[in-house]
Structure 1
């Protein structure tokens, strides 16, 4: 006797990530100086910093779309300034998907600084409540990617909003 077991097709649809504090512009990862921002992005020299700053003109990490964030993430990964995990967080954007798992709402603006900080906080809360899950390599990878996304968005925001024309990095170690 052959028994066929069927299950309903699961939708891959997901609404955009809900940001609880969409006006957040500062958090524990806020960058306050050029040296710190340059260190996080592993960029050095005035020419490199000015090139990055020029690339970021017109971008506001507190009001950015998935398309824009993906463009920034791809460029930074190609340049070797961020790793694959952080780039994946950027490309995922607001995480809105249709029933086939294809990204939607890619031009809807959201606050990436607030979103990544909230995602990291929720991830850390989950880790405290579920230490066995948190010990898994995949969980650790996501946590590192979220931490990196927080640091990078704040460093990018610093460079994008810096009022200084000359963003030279101190060569003293």
Structure 2
């Protein structure tokens, strides 16, 4: 979200060009107010030619199918956060050390919120438990890679699934 008021003093912010970009500026504090991307992490779980997807219940993309993922907690390593999010959304557990790094990238922004996502892959054989929809998911399913296009997907899903299949080959 674009800030309108200073998070330090509450004063209304002005526009200001700084470091070649338009920024917000607090005249009273004499400082720029930066907008930073939110760090997230997720796990693409692969079982042969199937991947585990969740149907989202939270914006952005309510009703879209996505890889289990979410915001990192303060002082949480991305691997740990990805593993935690997998468990929260699907009930599956995986040792963070078993995760294979796929990418760290800024995802397509659906609005004012910007996300930097760290993507990991894991084999189903490295996960324990039975998939069951948890927080932020109305459903969880194993989806054949060839059937991904039959569902409404978040924009990064197909790219990340392809990367996971390549990495775990």
| Fold shared, TM-score > 0.5 on shorter chain | no
More helix by share: 1
More strand by share: 2
Give the TM-score of the pair, scaled to structure 1. Answer: 0.24
Relative contact order higher in (CA < 8 Å, ≥ 6 apart): 1
